[in-house]
Structure 1
Amino acid sequence: MQSSKHLHLGGQTLVKLAEDMLGRAEGDRIESVSGYSRRLSVAVGTVQKALKELEDLRAVVLQGKGHMGSFVKNINYDRLYSICGISTIIFSLPLPYTKRLEAVATGFFKHFHTSYGSVSFELSYMRGSRQRVNSLMNNRSDGAVISRLAADILIKEGFPIEIVAGLGPGSYLSSHGLIFSGNDCASVKSLGVDPMSLDQTVMTERFLRESGLYINLVEIPYSQIIENIKTGVVDGTIWNRDYVVERIGELNFRELSSPGADEASTEAVLVINSDNLPVRHFIKRNMDIEKVTAAREGVIKGTLLPEY
């Protein structure tokens, strides 16, 4: 993770061309010098110098073919990543507090735990989809796993992110429901909600609309909500059903909707900063979604131990 904005103009052009080359393969025709000049808003001479430097660094070998243009004869992705300042790629994942989330973490770990040439890979874990996306925006991570629902909402809000991979419905969670301590839903007068969890916030708003109940919302960190229900600080919360099934037998639970509804909230997706071309190219070249899914399903079925 490195920004090129503090480099001099020639250095910035070199990095931009290296990013462009990361999306190419041997035999590809590259853009013309004048085309790069217009797109990058630099002089033709600056582009020519940067292309020559890429060749001098043995990152690429270009072959001119007259009026047909220039083509990539040979390409060294390791050197291109080095020029772009990419040595480690970090994905932030949700805290693995359910079996499904353990399965997602295992899928990514099994697939990416080895180095890819000069690029190594790391996983970090943090609560809240907004917090994970903020980590992207602040260049503390290169990818974030959130629900498709959260991704769609954040994109509509104007966040410069894009979905680069989806693991399918049911990969993030099975469904949401109301956890409460009273005898019935009508007894719920207050709900705990973590504003950093976009999914929980959206599903809580939906519950309030559909129930027609007047309920006080109390902001509480996600990890503390259940204890606050048990001690009577709040009456309930909207929660991941998987956690309820696995750990909260003494509290009441009501499904928010029928199975299969709101699939976007149940699917895990990988998002990146839309401007991060090196990471986009890395994922496109190296990520095999079938391998990630196979490991994830192995954990769910019990044929593979969680590892992350």
Structure 2
Amino acid sequence: MTVVRQSLLSKRGIVATHLAKELLKSRVGDRIPRIADYAIQFHVGHGTVQAALKTLEEIGAVRLEPRGQKGTHIEAIECPRLWQVAGREVVFGAKALPYTRRCEGFATALKYSFARCNVPFALTFMRGVLSRANGLKAGRYDFIVCSRLSGEVLCDRDPDLQIWCQRRRDFDPLGVRTFSWTLSSIA
């Protein structure tokens, strides 16, 4: 059993797992909630939350910078390590069938981006944004790729969905209108 796994078997470890899931949604420079807020959210004491945050820092999953009254901010995130602590195995995504070279290139870029971060990744191709959204809500996928309009409509219909990342480019150099990609994720 690895050192990381052994340290996650305690109450502190369970809270560290929940914190890792929360921190995966954050970016460098973001302010994290107060320890009191985490204590209420996870139904544990303040000391347990502090110990869990310290555990995450000790194993190199995150580096936090306390700024006094301005709160604690994320200085660095090690996504593969956080992903491991969160108990996740493979990142599963779903996107439309690759009908152009650009779509194929986007899928390849996703694959190489995750490989560069040492995060296991799998992508499935599926027709119909509603089918992909249902798979996302059912927990089969960690994210889906869809058009910006589809993403906005889905988010309006279901408050549990959020737009995670978007690529906005209205025109390419040749003056041809291109589409925007939106990665939607469960909040």
Say yes or no: TM over 0.5: yes
Whole-Å separation in 2 of the counterparts to 1:84 and 1:45: 20
CA distance in 1, matches of 2:31, 2:160: 29
Change (3 A) 1:134 1:169: farther
Which residue identity lines up with residue 104 of structure 1 in the other structure?
C
Alignment match, 2:80: 78
* Deviations 1:61-108 (CA, angstroms, capped at 9, x unpaired): 556677776565665333212111344323211123x43xx4223223
Higher RCO (C-alpha under 8 Å, 6+ residues apart): 1
Task: Assess, with a 3 A threshold, how the Cα gap between structure 1 residues 29 and 145 changes in structure 2: closer, same or farther.
Answer: closer
**Cα 1:64/1:152, change in 2 over 3 Å:** closer
- Tell me the equivalent position of 2:20: 18
- Give the counterpart letter for 1:18 in structure 2: A
1:105 is matched with 104
Residue 113 of structure 1 aligns to a residue whose secondary structure is helix
Task: State the percentage of identical aligned residues.
Answer: 29
Unaligned runs of 5+ in 2: 1-8
TM-score, normalised to structure 1, is 0.45
Cα pair distance change 1:168/1:11, threshold 3 Å: same
TM superposition shift of 1:113: 2.6
1:13–1:47 contact (8 Å) kept in structure 2? yes
Could you tell me which of 242, 255, 274 is aligned with 2:186?
274
Q: TM-score, normalised by structure 2?
A: 0.68
- CA pair 134-69 structure 1, distance change in 2 beyond 3 A: closer
| Kept after mapping to 2: 8 A contact 1:148/1:269 | yes
- 2:20–2:85 contact (8 Å) kept in structure 1: yes
Partner of 2:152: 152
Structure number with greater Rg is 1
Partner of 1:139: 139
Distance across 2 between alignment mates of 1:151 and 1:94? 13
Quick one: distance in 2 between partners of 1:149 and 1:35? 35
CA distance in 2, matches of 1:62, 1:20: 14
**Alpha-carbon distance in 2 for matches of 1:8, 1:137:** 30
CA RMSD of aligned residues (A): 3.7
Q: Is the 8 A contact 1:86 1:119 kept in 2?
A: no
> C-alpha offsets along residues 147-195 of structure 1, whole Å, 9 cap, x if unaligned?
3333333223225222221454589xxxxxxxxxxxxxxxxxxxxxxxx
Distance 2:117 2:52 in 1: 24
Q: What is the total number of aligned residue pairs between the two structures? A: 173
Partners of 1:113 and 1:122 within 8 A in 2? no
Q: Deviations over 1:3-31 (max 9, x none)?
A: xxxx9865442123223444243x77644
2:4 corresponds in structure 1 to: none
Structure 1 unaligned segments of length 5 or more: list them: 1-6, 172-259, 276-308
SS of the residue 2:18 aligns to: helix
CA contact (8 A) 2:148 2:166 kept: no
